[in-house]
A and B are shown apart, each in its own frame.
Chain A
Amino acid sequence: GAVVSQHPSRVICKSGTSVKIECRSLDFQATTMFWYRQFPKQSLMLMATSNEGSKATYEQGVEKDKFLINHASLTLSTLTVTSAHPEDSSFYICSARGGWAEAFFGQGTRLTVV
């Protein structure tokens, strides 16, 4: 299958700072990327859907000013958690889809805000 790379895999940041997570499709062009959040022992919750060159569509309850998503190219999307707080600590996962139905997932980013 296609490869999606997420970076960093782990990050610890201080409360009040911003953190950027990158999601790259390595061997295909991703027309759509999805960002998910997963709390311990829970399922994945979709945060937003982004299409290359357009604004992301956020799910209900997700603060778009706090979770900034940029999908500037067909191989890269970024999620920036602004003014992070301890309650933002979570496992963030991206997935990317090209011209077919299957979406491929990154390996996830464990964010810890202290």
Chain B
Amino acid sequence: TQLLEQSPQFLSIQEGENLTVYCNSSSVFSSLQWYRQEPGEGPVLLVTVVTGGEVKKLKRLTFQFGDARKDSSLHITAAQPGDTGLYLCAGVGGTASKLTFGTGTRLQVTL
């Protein structure tokens, strides 16, 4: 079973602070995705990283895929209350390109 461990599990910060979420696995994935999920809704895709060492930026969010394609990080600069939510990484692999979701990081940004 492929496991994706995220850290931290929970993060409560104030508006304007920076943060980094980590996603680690012992398995290699063909690609890795990051999602944000709000309560009572399905997850929404933020980004897909494919190449080892790849860095992608989405406004204040910076995503990095590890060189060995086993880990990834999400860095948020100047967090805002609208960034509050559950952040999930998901590794893509297998014959059906199944998603294996990470354990999740719950972010709360307060004023």
A residues contacting B by CB (< 8 A) are: 1, 4, 6, 32, 34, 36, 41-46, 49, 51, 57, 60, 91, 93, 95, 97, 101-108, 110
A-B contacts besides A43-B102, A46-B99, 18 pairs, CB < 8 Å:
A32-B96, A41-B106, A42-B104, A43-B103, A44-B88, A44-B101, A45-B101, A46-B101, A60-B1, A101-B31, A101-B92, A102-B45, A104-B45, A105-B42, A105-B44, A105-B45, A107-B42, A110-B40
Q: Does B25 contact A (CB under 8 A)?
A: no
Mark each residue of chain B from 90 to 111: 1 if its CB lies under 8 Å from any CB of chain A, else 0: 0010001111111110100000
Min CB distance B97 to A, Å, is 6
24 examples of A-B residue contacts, CB within 8 angstroms = A1-B45, A32-B96, A34-B99, A41-B106, A42-B103, A43-B88, A43-B102, A43-B103, A43-B104, A44-B88, A44-B101, A45-B101, A49-B96, A49-B98, A51-B96, A93-B43, A95-B42, A101-B92, A105-B43, A105-B45, A107-B41, A108-B41, A108-B42, A110-B40
Question: Count of A-B contacts with CB under 8 A?
Answer: 53
Please tell me if B48 contacts chain A, counting CB pairs below 8 Å.
Answer: yes
Measured between beta carbons, the chain B residues less than 8 angstroms from A51 are 96
